[in-house]
Structure 1
Amino acid sequence: MPMRRRSFLGLGAAGAAGLGLSLLNAPGARAAAPTQPFAIGVRDFNWSRGSRQLFTRIFYPISGTPGGEPVRNAPIAGGVFPVVEWSHGLGGNSDSYASQVRALVSAGFVVPAPSFPNSSPQETYNGNQSRDVSEVISRTLALNTTSGDMFAGRLNTGVGVGAAGHSLGGMTTHGLLTAWPDPRVVAAVPVACVDMGNPSSSVKANVLFIHGENDGTCPYSSARQAYSELPAPKAFLTHVGADHGSYLVPGNPTYNQTQNTFLDWFRWRLYDDTAARDRLTADATSGGTRWEADLAARPSSVISLRSRANNQYVCAENAGGSPLIANRTAIGPWERFDLVDLGGGAVALRAQANGQYVCAENAGGSPLIANRTAIGPWETFQRVNNADGSISLRAQANNQYVSAPNGGANPLVANATSIGPSESFDLISG
């Protein structure tokens, strides 16, 4: 049994805070992403894993007027739907997270929601709950080939599955990526989790973390560590100053950011909905949130930047050890960057000399330097296409333009409020 690497979650009232929130086939083609919301059906199953009883409610799309209560055993809507499992937190059950589950179903997902037996931190740390989820996923997918079942032929088993959950459920979800891996999981959203172990090489998933900055139950720092350890594609939605789960409650000021972001995360990966991917930054952004995304597994272009101020190329001096400066007359390894498309016009620059991302240090107050291993606000730039064919880069950290000051003789810095020759660059491919 994998040993518990980190244990933070406490029992009692603190542990319950924020709860009470109301077999794969060969890879196949993704169905088109739904454009209209669905009404919701529900079926109950009394499954088990050995001696562990796994009562599971499966919520699923049906025809009818969206927004009402789930209809028991109603016929599934026309179409083929991906599966996204939802794991409840301490003291919860299949119905505890109605807002999140119903939103997923309305958007076109089949959502099995198990009620874990004897749910507790111990059951999470010993892997029982993660193994329970794998069993529920297997049982759900098997319905796709069960003769006479309403789900037969209606589950998209060729695209992988999604998994999500809050608190102990978030830890259970992270366990599927680490200590008790399930390679069928290709999209995951651990909400208010702690780090459950080292990433497994067998799981290739897009992972979105959602967490309150002042979470007193599952420390923010542990989720940040989990985020740093996982490979891209990944993202982190921070609710600034928030607690363990208030942002999951309808009416909370950042509730919409939570819902829209995790829905589009699953639509992107399981429906191949690139419009959803490109909405992520807008989904997540508000005065009460902070968004970080490293979607580097998406295609990127190799480019060089030539400053219009002096017609010289931007260089990652000393393989990224010194500030960027436009002082080279020819292109070599230090002048080549991967231009990483983050969607919605946002980009990051990764220096080929050292494989690290260009950062607008101190929110643009220091020269740009290629010294970061992950993409956050300081590594994110908005690409601006200028009328003269050049481009400019506006730093997300301070909304100011990258400039090659003093005719390109000084290091690049993101401190310009308007675009002139020093803020204009020719983008050279290859």
Structure 2
Amino acid sequence: MSASNTAPSHVTPQSVDAPATVVSAGPIVLSAPGRGEALQVRVSAPATGGDLPVVVFSHGFGSSMNDYAPLADFWAAHGFVVLRPTHLDSRTLALPAEDPRTPRIWRYRTEDLRRVLDALDVLQARVPGLGGRLDHGRVAVAGHSWGAQTASTLLGARVLGSDGVPGEDMSDPRVTAGVLLALPGLGDDLTPFAAENFSFMKPSFDRMTAPALIVAGDHDQSALSTRGPDWFTDAYTHSPGRKSLLTLFGAEHSLGGVNGYEAAATTDESPARVALIQRLTSAFLRSALTPGDTGWQAAATALHEDPDALGTLHSK
């Protein structure tokens, strides 16, 4: 277990400008029958405070529970309990390509997030001082890249079958909002390689009704899509309900470095861009999970009025 001292404690989710001391613990190991590997989870939380909302975060391809600290640390310092599982595709597990689980890893990923939700009491009990402090009624999901697709399934996105019919509904009523960073778009625009090898990358957003903030970079050119960066805005365009789209100027797939603090973690390092993502995602999550909170409206207005803004924001 490690702690990072960032500022005075005694912070609530409404407290934007007073970051709390953060406690981070991991790996916390959960039994996962049928998975072939126990599920490892890192928990990051403010050291004090109660009735804390929860964010379950799904990492991108090859990453692990130890990545995306720029987001997890910030969210935890501003009043959220952040749970980061390690999926089977993580480089830390070195699952061979010929492993029989490989074609279904996208489903294992969704099951990982559900397993974390099922184990909220277990997870908080294993972090010293966290027991009894979670608010089980305020839960959001978040993710980056493949992790954003994983998170979107709990919000109501479904995978189209070979016949074009949406498959199983894997949404979870415990989840009421989401933050989806660099979320892949519609399957009609996959390259031949992606269409042949990643059949699960054919989403339907028609029933993704939960409130969500979708974050895309206007320089994010995927090798999996025949389209340009606008591919990553499809979830905003094609989903119903309350959605917001943050488009970041000059951002590539890692959006300036959300996946790690080291410059080697990204090709478009931008601390200012990451700081904007931190502030806006925190404000969105706080307002989505806390009735009456107006922080998101204030943050959106500030971005619109900033002549040097690093991105644009649209809402519906």
Same fold (TM over 0.5): yes
Q: Which has the higher contact order (CA 8 A, sep 6+)?
A: 2
The match for 2:147 among 169, 173, 179 is 169
Q: Secondary structure at the match of 1:157?
A: strand
The match for 2:204 among 198, 202, 211 is 198
Unmatched 5+ stretches in structure 2: 1-11, 92-96, 159-169, 186-201, 262-269
Q: How does 1:304-315 map to 2 (within 5 A)?
A: none
Query: Counting helix residues as a fraction of each chain, which structure ranks higher?
Result: 2
User: Which is greater in Rg?
Assistant: 1
Match of 1:38 in 2: 20
The match for 2:285 among 261, 266, 274 is 266
Counterpart AA for 1:97: Y
Match of 1:137 in 2: 117
The match for 2:273 among 242, 245, 254 is 254
The match for 1:49 among 12, 15, 32 is 32
Whether the 8 Å contact between 1:53 and 1:117 is mirrored in structure 2 is no
Percent sequence identity over aligned pairs:
25
Whether the 8 Å contact between 2:25 and 2:127 is mirrored in structure 1 is no
Query: Counting strand residues as a fraction of each chain, which structure ranks higher?
Result: 1
Q: Using the alignment, how far apart are the partners of 1:41 and 1:87 within structure 2?
A: 20
CA-CA distance at 1:151 after TM superposition:
3.5
Q: 1:374-399 CA deviation, whole Å, 9 max, x = no partner?
A: xxxxxxxxxxxxxxxxxxxxxxxxxx
The match for 1:226 among 189, 214, 235 is 235
Q: Using the alignment, how far apart are the partners of 1:221 and 1:148 within structure 2?
A: 41
Match of 1:108 in 2: 79
Q: 1:22-77 CA deviation, whole Å, 9 max, x = no partner?
A: xxxxxxxxx87236321111223111332242110111111xxxxxxxxxxxxxx1
Q: Secondary structure at the match of 2:30?
A: strand
Match of 1:61 in 2: 46
The 3 A distance-change label for structure 1 pair 111 and 148 is closer
Match of 2:300 in 1: 281
Q: 1:206-230 CA deviation, whole Å, 9 max, x = no partner?
A: 1000011121236533332221222
Q: Secondary structure at the match of 2:135?
A: coil
Whether the 8 Å contact between 2:206 and 2:240 is mirrored in structure 1 is no
Unmatched 5+ stretches in structure 1: 1-30, 63-76, 295-430
Match of 1:215 in 2: 220
Q: Under a length normalisation based on structure 1, what TM-score does the superposition of the two structures give?
A: 0.52
Q: 1:350-371 CA deviation, whole Å, 9 max, x = no partner?
A: xxxxxxxxxxxxxxxxxxxxxx
1:99 aligns with 2:70: yes
Report the number of matched residues.
247
CA RMSD of aligned residues (A): 2.9
Q: How does 1:227-376 map to 2 (within 5 A)?
A: 227-248=236-257, 251-272=270-291, 274-282=293-301, 284-285=303-304, 286-294=308-316
CA-CA distance at 1:105 after TM superposition:
0.1
The 3 A distance-change label for structure 1 pair 115 and 233 is same
Q: Under a length normalisation based on structure 2, what TM-score does the superposition of the two structures give?
A: 0.69
